[in-house]
Amino acid sequence: MQPFSYAPVADAAAAALRARAGASFIAGGTDMLQLLQENVLQPDELADLNGLPLAGITEEADGALRIGALTKLQEAADHPLLRERHPVVAEALDATASPMVRHMATVGGNLLQRTRCLYFRDVSTPCNKRQPGSGCSALEGENRHNAILGGSEHCIAVQPSDLPVALVAVDAEVLARNTDGAERWIPVGGFHRLPGDTPEIETALKPGDLILAIRIPAHAARWRSHYVKVRDRASFAWALCSAAVALRLDEQGRVAEVRIAAGGVATKPWRLPRVEQELLGHRLDRDRVRLSAVWASEGAVTRTGNAYKAPMLQHTVERALIELGGLA
């Protein structure tokens, strides 16, 4: 860990000032400290955002839920409105990390969690995301954790967070503020970028941009929703695969609206439009669910270690829909 200077910042303007001077932000610190300990990141300066008034969940006038970027994962998971209206989000948070980490990590930081790709975290090996141009060790290496969707010949690293997968399902947006003070809303589905040939660029944020809040729109409260996470052990493990589903049935019991996203299998939270399309207008029964879910792994590119994720993804999506529809 290289020496760095540290200072808390009181407001967004001060944060922008420090960012312009080259500082990196730290909030919950749960991923940052790991990256520092493993020497993956070498910041010169850390600007501590915890003094900013960005914690807490509020209901907006139009019924949307606004989750401050510094809200702790546990605090969000426990929020009665969030639990009631958006079970998929609460369930994703419940299944994230450990209680201790959930007490520390922030929702804003969770969107920015870096990949768990083994090669990204071991600085003795080549990794395009960590060291652009050095090569991707995962393509022909130990890749059981890696992505089958959204990868490129430069990178197949998974975005490992649960929360953004659920947020895609509920059509959430991220409020970002740039160093000039301009604010903009970014759909969570467009927040993370595909690696392409620049895997080191992971999100739509520009250097110094600050996440202020996440907003779940009022219309998402009409949807029933559910999160299913598959892991190697019963708790405290990354998703091998996860599925977030949100949908509304019409009066005849047909799928009127549906959003489905997958985690653990892709380089970013992965929307499954084809599965959604196959469900729309149909009754949610076991056959329809199964026939639709087979489209989940459409376009998957598998490698030696991660081929299992293709069937697993189909089954996970199917399971989430079955459980949500009470079809078990």
Interface residues with other proteins (CB under 8 A)?
A: 1-10, 14, 18, 23, 26, 29-30, 33-34, 36-39, 45-48, 50-51, 74, 97-101, 103-104, 116, 118-119, 121-122, 124-125, 137, 140-142, 144-145, 230-238, 240, 305, 307-308, 311-312, 315-316, 318-319, 328
Nearer to other proteins, 188 or 321 (CB): 321
Amino acid at 328: A
Nearer to other proteins, 82 or 104 (CB): 104
CB of 279 to other proteins, least distance (A): 18
Nearer to other proteins, 131 or 198 (CB): 131
CB of 171 to other proteins, least distance (A): 27
Nearer to other proteins, 103 or 274 (CB): 103
CB of 267 to other proteins, least distance (A): 18
Q: What is the CA radius of gyration of the chain?
A: 19
CB of 47 to other proteins, least distance (A): 8
CB of 246 to other proteins, least distance (A): 21
Nearer to other proteins, 85 or 229 (CB): 229
CB of 318 to other proteins, least distance (A): 7
Give the chain as a 3 state SS string.
Answer: CCCCEEEECCCHHHHHHHHHCCCEEECCCCCHHHHHHCCCCCCCEEEEHHHCCCCCEEECCCCCEEEECCCEHHHHHHCHHHHHHCHHHHHHHHCCCCHHHHHHCEHHHHHCCCCCCCCCCCCCCCCCCCCCCCCCCCCCCCCCCCCCECCECCECCCCCCCHHHHHHHCCCEEEEECCCCCEEEEEHHHHECCCCCCCCCCECCCCCCEEEEEEECHHHHHCEEEEEEECCCCCCCCCCEEEEEEEEECCCCEEEEEEEEEECCECCCEECHHHHHHHCCCECCHHHHHHHHHHHHCCCCCCCCCCCHHHHHHHHHHHHHHHHCCCC
Nearer to other proteins, 10 or 250 (CB): 10
Nearer to other proteins, 11 or 59 (CB): 11
In contact, 162 and 227? CB cutoff 8 Å: yes
CB of 33 to other proteins, least distance (A): 4
